[in-house]
Structure 1
Amino acid sequence: MEESLSFLVEKEPVFKTLQLQYGNYFIPSRPAGFVTLCKLILEQQVSIDSAKACFLKIENFLGTVSPETISKCSDEDLKSCGVSRQKIGYLKILSEAVSGELDLESFSAKTADDVRNELIQIKGIGHWTIDVYLMFALQSPDIITLRDIAVVNTIKELFDVHTKEEMETLSENWKPYRTMATFMLWHHYLEKRNRKPFV
């Protein structure tokens, strides 16, 4: 963390300003594995609080959230927990993949690109989900998620760049610590809205 912060603060005046404004940053993490991917699917296009409530209902109903329990659970029971029909399908597909050829435990020894290439094959897991999983669960150091509206809007605000191509070019300057840059951007976005980052 110290190395990545020092690099970004020296490289980019905007990050120096953010560092002076906020001080140290909390680095979010989640356990690697099936449950975190399930939670990320539930978090797609809804609020974090809504997704958390939905997962708790699933967990209370199933006891243990695993590929086996999700696969055996009826669509109607998952729907009663607040899961949309589309996301029920995604959870079932993920469960089948993990029960089959998808080896999540192997990801810690693979590159971010290799992990992305495997996960993108799973219907319901897009690049945003993969980005967050790489950052939070696998602690990949060089991920910038330009599919996240908070990150995009904060870059527009702080750097006055407005196209994805410009943002990608800008983020090249933050390699190899773009994950830390993303955390700093998220932190600023949430602080401005009086929301505690990553709680």
Structure 2
Amino acid sequence: MRRISNLDDVNFGLDALCAIDPRLEVVRGMAGEVPLRLSEPGFASLASIIVSQQVSTASARAIFGRLTGLLDPLTPESLLGAGEEVFREAGLSRPKQRALLAVAQAAAEGLDLHDLCRLEAHEAIAAMVAIPGIGPWTAEVYLLFAAGHPDIFPARDVALQSAVGHALGIDPRPGEKALIRLAEAWAPWRGVASRLFWAYYRQTRGRDGAPPAGNPV
């Protein structure tokens, strides 16, 4: 399996996608630069994705910036040792506090977030969603950004739903199940299709809809 590790890989995938589905040539032209969006595997990257759950990209960056300012370095040990005041100052909701603490505890007990990036997607996702507070979207985005997985499409992502609907003239926008079916045609480059439609969303909406990639490479 070819991992997405540099912009050449992204462009190779974009060429393949446009050959698979010629409609994406227009989307590619409108999307402008399609970023790599790759981050260092590990706790900080996963924490960044947890923070970005169900909030805008700008809000997620602000909250994560406060958290990393309060806990530097951000590690499982530093988070487990943090008190309530740190979470309040960072602006973390209770569910996100619980999810971060659950991941930190799992990592302290031996969960290897680097090793997860070497597994097949279904194995890694199964291991991650077993942690309280980690759902499929969080696991999929982690594998996209930290593992460079080439064939994951987080169909629950509202920005992706909106971008695909707008780009392909689907009204109302496709929901999760419909988007999963649509994206099947883009295998084995669904990870690049995710990047393409996030870039399209940024260009057409004037704001970034992609989750922040913590600890970018």
The answer to whether TM tops 0.5 is yes
Structure 1 unaligned segments of length 5 or more: list them.
none
Report whether the alignment pairs 1:32 with 2:41: yes
2:99 corresponds, among 90, 104, 112, to 90
Q: Distance in 2 between matches of 1:175 and 1:124?
A: 28
Secondary structure in 2 matching 1:29:
coil
Alpha-carbon deviation of 1:134?
Answer: 0.9
Alpha-carbon spacing, 1:19–1:165, altered in 2? closer, same or farther (3 Å): same
Report whether the alignment pairs 1:192 with 2:201: no
Report whether the alignment pairs 1:114 with 2:126: no
Contact 1:75–1:88 (8 Å) recurs in 2:
no
Aligned residue identity for 1:15: L
Task: Report the counterpart of residue 113 of structure 2 in structure 1.
Answer: 104
Contact 1:79–1:85 (8 Å) recurs in 2:
no
Report whether the alignment pairs 1:139 with 2:148: yes
2:179 corresponds, among 147, 158, 167, to 167
Contact 1:70–1:92 (8 Å) recurs in 2:
yes
Structure 2 unaligned segments of length 5 or more: list them.
1-9, 213-217
Which portions of structure 1, spanning 4 or more consecutive aligned residues, are displaced by more than 4 angstroms? 196-199
Aligned residue identity for 1:74: G
TM-score, normalising length: structure 2: 0.84
Contact 1:79–1:88 (8 Å) recurs in 2:
no
Q: With CA pairs under 8 Å and 6+ residues apart, which has the higher RCO, 1 or 2? A: 2
Aligned residue identity for 1:33: G
Q: Distance in 1 between matches of 2:209 and 2:86?
A: 33
Per-residue deviation, residues 117-136 of structure 1 (Å, max 9, x unmatched): 11001111111111111111
Task: Report the counterpart of residue 156 of structure 1 in structure 2.
Answer: 165
